[in-house]
Amino acid sequence: MNPLESLRLAWRSIRGHKLRSALTTLGIVIGIAAVIAFVSLGASLQAGIIGDISPDDQRSLYGWAAEPNTEGGPLAGAQPVFTQDDLEAVEELEDVEAAYGYATIQTQALSDGNETVAQGNGLVASGPSYIREEQLAEGRRFQMGEREAVINPAAAGQFEENVTVGDELTVAFLGGQRTTIEVVGITDTSEGLSPFEGFESSPRVYVPTDPYYTEQAARLGFGGGNGDTANGGGDDRGGGNESATDDPARFLAIVVEAPSDDQAAIDAAREAAVDYLESDRSDASERMGDDLEVQLRTSTELLQQLQDVLDLLRNFIVGIAAISLLVGSIGIANIMLVSVTERTREIGIMKAVGAQNRDVLGLFLTEAVILGVIGAILGTGLGLVAGYFGAQYIDLPLVYPLEYVALAIVVGMLVGVLAGLYPAWRAARTDPIDALRYE
């Protein structure tokens, strides 16, 4: 039998039972749509996060001290051990471009003139190079030791009139102390600048660790009471330095920058910094002992944990979809067996007029494959639409994994072939005499 004739007969049979054929392909549609939608969302999420890492950020190493094999994300199990002297010594190392502490400072409110807005942990203390030049929409980076700040657009837009470079803001810290900061720059994005912050958009104010973090350490009584920063420079700190100690302020998190984003340069900076910080020359070694070790990781390495979670989720969804495809293939096989039974006399007539077993086999296989391919095409379209709306809802850049679209069509054909093989073989082996007697 001509293949086109088999195709025409198979299509006629499908059209003759539209509702039954539609229900048969439903399992294939759901399975393929689930795979395409979730794989698209996973690829979009990955592109959204990885895309936020600029080439300069890839040369930054984010570090903390914790017990080995501590599970969790960045700063899991971290202890405050690093002093400013440690960071200055690390910055002097040949393979290191810059080193500074990182901390979030607890605040209550941010005021612009008479207007005040709530500001929780939106004060980020770091080094000047934490904010890269290309990330500044206007102004400049803050300087260490100065009461200056760089804000992001979300923080600038909190007030009735947008804050601009040169304006002064008043920060109210937890406990009631206040200080005034001068805005010297505004970033071009409200998203976080490193894995320590996360990459979601929120109001943030970036300030130097000196004096803001050292003053907070003095107020909270875990160091920072041995210098001017604990006792001067603020506008009105309300006697928050009674608990200051003679110990220097210690950082929970640090950032070490390599001279370039070349992997060899990053590895050299990491090795040099870890060697110093874990040696007896550093202040950190006094508190680390034998229980803690320094961990320095790039953004890419930290995000690999997220990638592992996404891969696990994708495999889970593919497993669920595989069950749906199995159910769909069983449905196709069941319908094809019913079709063989219903068309027994037709099979007998075909064989009586000269049709061979392979012709009958090809006819029913073609019908099963058509059902599988229709399910795959509809499922692919539905999955692409669901992926689009999902990415728009979460505000992610849309990425379609096109290889999965081609794979979906192939899977649909395979499901049709496997599901239709036994019914077609059974139809081909039907005895024409018995078939003609069948009522």
Closest CA to 210 of 52, 84, 390: 84
Res 439: pLDDT = 60
Which runs of E-coded beta strand occur in 205-362?
Answer: 205-208, 250-251, 253-257, 293-297
Contact 176/212 with Cβ under 8 angstroms? no
Sign of the torsion angle spanned by Cα atoms 349, 350, 351, 357: negative
- Give the pLDDT confidence of 88-124 residue by residue, as tens digits: 999 999 999 999 999 988 888 889 888 888 877 778 9
- Give the pLDDT confidence of 391-402 residue by residue, as tens digits: 888 777 788 877
Average pLDDT in the 142-156 region?
A: 91
What are the CB-based long-range contacts (under 8 Å, 24+) for 417-420?
417/365, 417/368, 417/369, 417/372, 418/329, 419/329, 419/330, 419/331, 419/332, 419/333, 419/336, 419/368, 419/372, 420/332, 420/333, 420/336, 420/364, 420/365, 420/367, 420/368, 420/369
Quick one: pLDDT band at residue 147, thresholds 50, 70, 90?
Answer: very high
Per-domain residue ranges for the chain? 3-51+306-437, 80-223+246-291
Res 235: pLDDT = 46
Distances (CA, A) of 219 to 103, 242, 416: 15, 7, 71
- Give the pLDDT confidence of 250-309 residue by residue, as tens digits: 898 999 999 988 889 999 999 999 999 999 999 888 888 888 899 898 887 877 766 777
Closest CA to 124 of 56, 69, 171: 171
How far is the C-alpha of 21 from the C-alpha of 335, rounded, in Å?
A: 8
Contact 199/206 with Cβ under 8 angstroms? no
Instruction: Give the rounded percent of residues in the chain with a pLDDT score beyond 70.
Output: 89
- The amino acid that residue 250 corresponds to is R
Average pLDDT in the 139-168 region?
A: 91
* CB atoms inside a 10 Å sphere around CB 222: 16
Res 228: pLDDT = 43
Q: What is the mean pLDDT of the chain?
A: 81
Which runs of E-coded beta strand occur in 106-188?
Answer: 107-112, 115-118, 123-126, 136-139, 148-151, 168-173, 178-187
Quick one: pLDDT band at residue 437, thresholds 50, 70, 90?
Answer: low
Average pLDDT in the 153-157 region?
A: 89
- Name the more confident of 118 and 71: 118
Res 165: pLDDT = 92
The residues, ordered by sequence, that sit 6+ positions from 127 with a Cβ below 8 Å of its Cβ are 98, 99, 100, 101, 144, 208, 209, 255
- Give the pLDDT confidence of 209-233 residue by residue, as tens digits: 988 888 887 777 666 554 444 334 4
* pLDDT exceeds 90 at position 364: no
**Token digits for 197?**
């912050």
Distances (CA, A) of 212 to 149, 152, 163, 204, 382: 10, 18, 21, 15, 53
How far is the C-alpha of 418 from the C-alpha of 416, rounded, in Å?
A: 6
- Give the pLDDT confidence of 259-275 residue by residue, as tens digits: 988 889 999 999 999 99
How far is the C-alpha of 391 from the C-alpha of 389, rounded, in Å?
A: 6
* pLDDT exceeds 70 at position 51: no
Res 346: pLDDT = 80
How far is the C-alpha of 125 from the C-alpha of 122, rounded, in Å?
A: 10
Res 238: pLDDT = 39
Contact 147/211 with Cβ under 8 angstroms? yes
- Name the more confident of 4 and 85: 85
